[in-house]
Structure 1
């Protein structure tokens, strides 16, 4: 007996009225990922651009600060008569105070009643310019500010964080005590090896080739240590 023929359902699988929902969802996720990656790239570019602007701004600030200090140096330069100028020196200075330490260069012109000191960092950029004249002291920083005080020690401690004994140092760098009480120890050749005055201890570590002037000094004060290496005398 012949069996009735059965029709097979050959219709394609039913689709959503809006098309293949699964594929559409996949495309949506892909497009969303592309938009997310594009947004991340844009954010990264914005961050890099912002950093570049900051670097250019910082570099410009350094240039302007250096230019200002150079101009300030020219304006504040003392023109001492030859009979007023007692010495000029140039060298390096290293400072330790508290947990801080720094080093740089120093140039100093000393007259009978006036002083001019320029302190720069190891790259030669200005840190401070100190001028003593007319019974007071002025300190100019690279940002253009001028600070004043009756004496250099109080002024440098307030602005720079450490004391620079400018008045006493004018005698100490020439291996002699300043006015007032002091204690001195001398070496076998009669030169001062150690000096104590005004709360400072000054040690003479090296002398120039003819032994007439010190070339390396160490100055100590409670919480402060200064080292001075003199490379040139005039």
Structure 2
């Protein structure tokens, strides 16, 4: 009996770690994601900080999204007043005061001309809502007990969602930190306008 007792303890301990029922956070996450996928019309106002191995800066952000169409305005960076990136799934253009309008097939290609690296605008339209992009594989995802996203690894970026706020029926991120090698950004959302593109 004394020989069997240690094995019995190990067996019961192993069983205790196996929980066939999904944790409540998984169920909450699925419900939370399905709800947020319905939100495709919004405006956010906030501040973006960005950095690479050589330099960094910040800009005020005004981002309007209507379905696949986006209008992203950055105020303050690059010493040139307002910078505007707009487009949809098939087209993007960059407008800066006193400069010719640049076009590309994706906004990420245009941001490389601003930052020197590609800011993942295509994926960010999902990340800013606190959900992964459905167009890219997810490497890692962890979430909080209430179902909100905590950490996401996708498209060679690691993102930490360190703040949320309740805005009407929506629970939306208020602070996101992103890292990809030597490149990083922090987006602090000052004001959400879900369901509208005009404050």
TM-score, L = length of structure 2: 0.69
Say whether residues 1:194 and 2:170 are aligned partners.
Answer: no
Say whether residues 1:206 and 2:163 are aligned partners.
Answer: yes
- Higher-strand-fraction structure: 2
The Cα shift of 1:215 comes to 0.3
Partner of 2:192: 233
Number of aligned residues: 151
Q: Following the alignment from structure 1 to structure 2, what is the Cα–Cα distance between the partners of residues 167 and 100?
A: 24
Q: Following the alignment from structure 2 to structure 1, what is the Cα–Cα distance between the partners of residues 149 and 63?
A: 22
Partner of 1:117: 72
TM-score, L = length of structure 1: 0.59
Does the CA contact (< 8 Å) of 1:116 and 1:132 recur in 2?
A: yes
**CA spacing shift, 1:134–1:207, aligned 2, 3 Å:** closer
Say whether residues 1:147 and 2:102 are aligned partners.
Answer: yes
Say whether residues 1:184 and 2:135 are aligned partners.
Answer: no
- Cα distance per residue 1:125-166 (max 9 Å; x no partner): 624100114711100122232111111112111243232211
What SS is found at the alignment partner of 1:163? coil
Does the CA contact (< 8 Å) of 2:160 and 2:176 recur in 1?
A: yes
Q: Following the alignment from structure 1 to structure 2, what is the Cα–Cα distance between the partners of residues 153 and 111?
A: 18
Partner of 1:93: 48
Does the CA contact (< 8 Å) of 1:206 and 1:215 recur in 2?
A: yes
What SS is found at the alignment partner of 2:97? coil
- Structure 2: tracts of 5 or more residues without a match: 1-38, 194-199
**CA spacing shift, 1:190–1:96, aligned 2, 3 Å:** same
Whose RCO is larger (CA < 8 A, sep 6+)? Answer: 2
What SS is found at the alignment partner of 2:50? strand
Q: Following the alignment from structure 1 to structure 2, what is the Cα–Cα distance between the partners of residues 120 and 156?
A: 14
Does the CA contact (< 8 Å) of 2:80 and 2:96 recur in 1?
A: no
Does the CA contact (< 8 Å) of 1:195 and 1:201 recur in 2?
A: yes
The Cα shift of 1:85 comes to 6.0
* Pairing partner for 2:124 from 169, 187, 194: 169
Q: Following the alignment from structure 1 to structure 2, what is the Cα–Cα distance between the partners of residues 106 and 125?
A: 15
How large is the Cα RMSD of the aligned pairs? 2.4
Does the CA contact (< 8 Å) of 1:91 and 1:232 recur in 2?
A: yes
